[in-house]
Amino acid sequence: MKRGTLRLIEVGPRDGLQNEPNTIPLDAKIAFVNGLGKTGVAEIEVSSFVSSRWVPQLGDAEDVFLKIDRAPGVIYSALVPNEKGLDRALACDIDKISVFTAASEVFNKHNINASIKESIERFRPVVERSERPVRGYISTAIWCPYEGKIEPSAVVDVAKQLIDLGVSELSVADTVGKASPPEVRALLDALLPCAVPVALHFHDTYGMAIANVLTAYKEYGIASFDGSAGGLGGCPYAPGASGNVATEDLAFAFGASGVEVGVDINSVIEAARPLEQYLGRPLASRLSQVPEF
The catalytic position among 92, 144, 194, 235 is 235
Residue 15 interacting with Mg ion (CB under 5 A): yes
Partner from Mg ion, ligand HMG, none binding residue 49, C-beta < 5-8 Å depending on class: ligand HMG
131 half-sphere exposure, CB direction, 13 A CA radius: 7
User: Residue type at 5?
Assistant: T
- Please identify the residue of the shown chain whose CB is closest to the bound Mg ion: 15
> Alpha-carbon distance 279 to 89, whole Å?
27
- Tell me which of ligand HMG, Mg ion, none is bound by residue 18, counting a contact when its beta carbon lies within the kind-specific cut-off of 5 to 8 angstroms: ligand HMG
Q: Which helix (H) or strand (E) holds 162?
A: helix 152-165
Nearer to ligand HMG, 127 or 265 (CB): 127
CB 33 within 8 Å of CB 78: no
The string over 26-41, giving b where at least 16 C-beta atoms fall within 10 Å of a residue's C-beta and e elsewhere, is eeebbebbbbbbbbbb
Q: Closer CB to ligand HMG, residue 95 or residue 118?
A: 118
What would you measure as the largest C-alpha separation in the chain, in angstroms? Answer: 50
The answer to whether 161 and 195 have CB atoms below 8 angstroms apart is no
Q: Applying CB under 5 A, does 20 fall inside the site for Mg ion?
A: no
CA distance 9 to 76: 10
Taking the complex as a whole, the smallest distance from the CB of residue 125 to ligand HMG amounts, in Å, to 13
For β-strands 134-139 and 7-10, DSSP reports them as unpaired
* 215 touches, from ligand HMG, Mg ion, none (C-beta below 5 to 8 Å by class): none
Q: Which amino acid is at 223?
A: A
Q: Residue 39: which of ligand HMG, Mg ion, none does it interact with, CB under 5 to 8 A by kind? A: none
Residue 144 contacts residue 104 (beta carbons within 8 Å): yes
Min dist CB 152 to Mg ion, Å, is 19
In the bound state with ligand HMG, the residue whose beta carbon lies nearer, of 55 and 241, is 55
Is residue 235 flagged as an active site residue? yes
Residue 10 binds Mg ion (CB under 5 A): no
Q: Which is nearer to ligand HMG, 241 or 259 (CB)?
A: 241
Q: Which does 204 bind (CB under 5 to 8 A by kind): Mg ion, ligand HMG, none?
A: none
- Between residues 13 and 262, which has the closer beta carbon with respect to Mg ion? 13
Are 208 and 177 in contact by the 8 Å Cβ rule? The answer is: yes
Which residue ranges make up the site for ligand HMG (CB under 6 A)? Answer: 15, 18, 48-51, 53-55, 79, 81-82, 84-85, 88, 100, 111-113, 137, 139, 173, 175, 201, 203
Residues assigned a catalytic role: 235
The footprint of Mg ion (CB under 5 A) covers: 15
